[in-house]
Chains A and B, each alone.
Chain A
């Protein structure tokens, strides 16, 4: 089995005095190059699962393997490096850096691990901006963009280092249905072009339907796992 992400017996508790269990003994793997949806009600634990897969959060016990590497054994700097090179994040709230322009935001993941951007890298950023329809706003500050433009900038940023995995938490959550449809088309295209593994949390049943696999989380457990 070529699983790029493998979750083994993961439990997650929150709180120190009053402990609340959010994930119960979760076991799941995602295949390389697959396009997956995670659905579930608010508070079901789906975001927690995504954050644990993204190494932003630690499991209380159990193990996480990314690209066959055991992340629970890594230190903070190794995790930062892993995130920078292997994982791209797209959040519901775009989380751009308001002090930087569209182009600079997109180049940021590259700048984090490298010194100077070569012309090839700048061309790549141009290509991504072109793909996302951002060329005209390239030098705008992140605050001078529409909601859709901001979200597309965040997607372009997630793609910059050509990560093997993209984790998206309701990427179209605050966009209108037409823009949502466009964003979804984009993600699908990227999946097909770059063979990037996608794991998308969504409330939107129309998006979930178009993925290869739908995992439903309920009360911190995997309730159903439907592979097309």
Chain B
């Protein structure tokens, strides 16, 4: 083993120009993989973040006609103890209604939150651009668009009307902007007990909103939660994947095309290494013949070329990762939006980079297999007879 390794190293070293060319070939292949992979992953992460980052990925809703969920604290505990990686868990009581101010009426969704919990999903407190968060019963927070429609100010008293014709006056404590116009226009945010008392649902809620660490596993986590809660006739559980099939198939298409590019780059790299090493066997056939005459076994003779492939793979991967990261970095530096932020944020997944390197090393070794077999079959007589 050690002998084969040393001979491989010496062979590579004796022909530096050729060795450098193969390493460069592998490096370019690896750098394209790292760059395209990081780019596509960054793009997808961006897209997912903007699409579902600020909304619940799994929602537990009521299956009853009055849309309420009772004994919800126990259910939240069950979800918490489910061993799934849950990053946010927020109970909500929400009902549609109307807002009336200055003889104008607009349809709204009255959303009762425990703000400290809802913030980890929606970031409501951070999005308040004027005023304070609502803390007392009948305090409300109004969105930017709705404020513009009704020309509202802090301290104004508005009236909320329910579909059952109840009405309640409430006080505006502040205005929020969570960058989604339809939400800014329709959500009236208030402490959860405001909604509970207005709609007379006692301590019940209408939904539990959940965010998870692995967004793409939302569907399996959702069915696990469904199983744990076990009240199929009382509850229904939805997840973002079921509701965003088009986005998902778009992302999937992107992933597939990125993998296709990477596979073809890999094939080109393998063919390159295989052909150069095949020529190298011819160049070194004299040496292989002498070594075999001196007692080197066929297996050791093939190991020499496998080690060459392996060493080339390692060096090519290191150089390739450096090149790929440089490429990705300069892409974020030069491909920028007018405001100076990068078009696609750099996302370096170390796991992916490592896997790319391992694949490159494995395929370089694999590419050396044909030359290795040739080397193993070479008879010392061929060399000695032909001088």
Interface residues of A (CB under 8 A from B): 51, 54, 56-57, 76-77, 80-85, 89, 91, 93, 95-100, 108-109, 111-113, 115, 157
Contact = CB atoms under 8 A, between A and B. Distances in A.
B286 A112 contact: no
> Considering residues A56, A77, A82, A113, which has the most beta carbons from chain B within 10 angstroms of its beta carbon?
A56
Contacts of B299: 77
A97 B289 CA distance: 10
Nearest to B10: A99
B297 A80 contact: yes
Given A51-B381, A91-B384, A95-B286, A80 B292 contact: yes
Contact of A109 (B10, B294, B298, B300): B294
Nearest to B379: A56
A85 B297 CA distance: 13
8 contacts: A56-B380, A81-B297, A83-B295, A84-B296, A93-B387, A99-B287, A109-B294, A111-B3
A99 B295 contact: no
B195 to A, nearest CB: 79
B103 interface: no
B283 to A, nearest CB: 11
Contacts, number: 66
A109 B296 CA distance: 9
Contacts of A97: 287, 290-291
A98 B286 CA distance: 10
Contact of B14 (A91, A96, A98): A98
Contacts of B300: 112
B295 A81 contact: yes
Contacts of A108: 291, 294
B121 to A, nearest CB: 63
B295 A113 contact: yes
Instruction: State the 6 A-B residue pairs at the shortest beta-carbon distance, nearest first.
Output: A84-B295, A99-B14, A99-B10, A83-B295, A95-B290, A80-B297
B124 to A, nearest CB: 69
B290 A80 contact: no
A83 B293 CA distance: 7
A117 B276 CA distance: 33
Contacts of A89: 293-294
Nearest to A141: B14
A8 B380 CA distance: 23
B75 to A, nearest CB: 66
Interface in B1-59: 2-3, 6-7, 10-11, 13-14
B25 to A, nearest CB: 22
Contacts of B11: 99
Contacts of B2: 115
Contacts of A111: 3, 6
Contact of B3 (A76, A80, A85, A112): A112
B15 to A, nearest CB: 9
A56 B297 contact: no
Nearest to B6: A111
A77 B3 CA distance: 16
Nearest to A81: B295
